[in-house]
């Protein structure tokens, strides 16, 4: 029965181990605090091992404890993973961005969590550590275990960091959301894209939208359409119609009707791809 602020990873693991599965990890608390709290909590938001943003030679490492505000202010994230930077600037409100962490955004497993959508489009991997010191890597998209449910057991594992490939030559990414208001609003649809161009032709494309399934979802048909194509009006028309029809979305009382969401998926998929292509061409 306690709330402990762990000062390092070793201490956090020790508490989790000793609690015999009763204690759970908490970070920014902005989501978890609205639910029924478990009786023992280990606050990892000050654990140095899960903080910080590092640019390696061929990877970008972002600590799971990095807040949305820190990520939004990071020039490294802006230049190497612009979609994530844009997503982090729009989450919740300034107050929520000051507390909520990227790791929490993913583990909370909301189907349209802004940062998670961007991380999936960027192909980010998560690094997790268990209580016995062994770590594993998994794609962010594979950490979803169902609607609003993570496959990560936060009494037995700690999400440490995210690994991303920095933007390559000719590569650009973008994030867009459509919501009833510019702030403090749930998105009706979120979209993120990562695109690489070579001599004005699209060579790689990842387009992700949410909410459609429990996890942010890739638009595989739309991606196929983009591969090898030359960006132009024709292509964007096709992107919109393909995106709208390739995926089933549901209407909800909370957000909007099925028809409207279907329309938005097409529009946002088109806009976000266009934006990513513009950036990719600038980086060529």
Partner 1 sequence: MKEQVINFQLNDEPVNVYSDPSLSLLKLLRNRFNLLGTKEGCGRGDCGVCTVLLDGRAVNSCLIPAGKVQGRNVCTIEGISSKSTAKAARFHPIQQAFVEKGAVQCGFCTPGMIMSAFALLQENPSPSKEEVREAISGNLCRCSGYKQIEEAVLEAAKVMICQKEHPGFK
Rg (CA), the chain: 19
Counting residues that bind partner 1 (by CB under 8 A) gives: 26
User: Closer CB to partner 1, residue 89 or residue 165?
Assistant: 89
The stretch near partner 1 (CB under 8 A) out of 2-10, 49-57, 119-127, 266-274 is: 2-10
Residue 104 as a binder of partner 1 (CB under 8 A): the answer is: no
User: Closer CB to partner 1, residue 108 or residue 244?
Assistant: 108
User: Closer CB to partner 1, residue 113 or residue 276?
Assistant: 113
User: Closer CB to partner 1, residue 128 or residue 176?
Assistant: 176
Residue 99 as a binder of partner 1 (CB under 8 A): the answer is: yes
Residue 96 as a binder of partner 1 (CB under 8 A): the answer is: yes
Min dist. Cβ of residue 238 to partner 1 (A): 36
Q: Which of 1, 233, 253, 254 binds partner 1 (CB under 8 A)?
A: 1
At a CB cut-off of 8 Å and minimum separation 6, what does 149 contact? 109, 214
Residue for token pair 């994530």? 84
Nearest to 173 by CA among 243, 82, 236: 82
Parallel, antiparallel or unpaired: strands 189-198 and 171-178: antiparallel
> Exposed/middle/buried for 55, CB within 10 Å: 0-12, 13-18, 19+?
middle
**Within 14-73, which residues bind partner 1 (CB under 8 A)?**
26, 29-30, 33-34, 37, 39, 41, 43, 45, 69
**Within 168-197, which residues bind partner 1 (CB under 8 A)?**
182-184
User: Closer CB to partner 1, residue 125 or residue 177?
Assistant: 177
Left if phi > 0, otherwise alpha if psi is -120 to 50, otherwise beta: which for 241? alpha
Residue 95 as a binder of partner 1 (CB under 8 A): the answer is: yes
Q: Which of 21, 48, 52, 94 binds partner 1 (CB under 8 A)?
A: 94
Residue 6 as a binder of partner 1 (CB under 8 A): the answer is: no
Min dist. Cβ of residue 80 to partner 1 (A): 23
Q: What are phi and psi of 189, to 5 degrees?
A: -145, 140
In the complex, the residues that contact partner 1 under the rule CB under 8 A are 1-5, 26, 29-30, 33-34, 37, 39, 41, 43, 45, 69, 92-96, 98-99, 182-184
């Amino acid at each position: 029965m306690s709330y402990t602020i762990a000062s390092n990873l070793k201490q956090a693991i020790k508490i989790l181990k000793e609690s015999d599965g009763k204690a759970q990890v908490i970070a920014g608390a902005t989501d978890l605090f609205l639910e029924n709290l478990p009786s023992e909590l280990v606050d990892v938001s000050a654990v140095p091992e899960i903080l910080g943003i590092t640019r390696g030679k061929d990877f970008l490492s972002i600590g799971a404890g990095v807040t949305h505000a820190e990520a939004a202010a990071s020039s490294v994230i802006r230049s190497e993973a612009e979609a994530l930077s844009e997503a982090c600037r729009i989450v919740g409100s300034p107050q929520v961005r000051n507390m909520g962490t990227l790791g929490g955004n993913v583990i909370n497993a909301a189907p349209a969590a802004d940062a998670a959508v961007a991380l999936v489009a960027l192909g980010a991997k998560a690094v997790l550590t268990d209580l016995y010191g062994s770590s594993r890597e998994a794609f962010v998209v594979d950490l979803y275990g169902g609607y609003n449910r993570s496959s990560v057991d936060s009494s037995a594992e700690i999400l440490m960091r995210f690994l991303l490939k920095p933007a390559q030559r000719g590569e650009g990414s973008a994030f867009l959301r459509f919501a009833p208001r510019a702030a403090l609003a749930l998105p009706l649809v979120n979209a993120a894209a990562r695109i690489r161009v070579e001599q004005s032709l699209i060579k790689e494309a990842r387009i992700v939208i949410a909410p459609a399934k429990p996890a942010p979802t890739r638009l595989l048909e739309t991606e196929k359409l983009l591969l090898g194509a030359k960006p132009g009006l024709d292509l964007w028309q096709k992107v919109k119609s393909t995106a709208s029809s390739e995926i089933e979305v549901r209407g909800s009382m909370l957000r909007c009707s099925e028809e409207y969401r279907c329309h938005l998926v097409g529009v946002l998929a088109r806009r976000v791809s266009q934006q990513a292509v513009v950036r990719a061409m600038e980086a060529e």
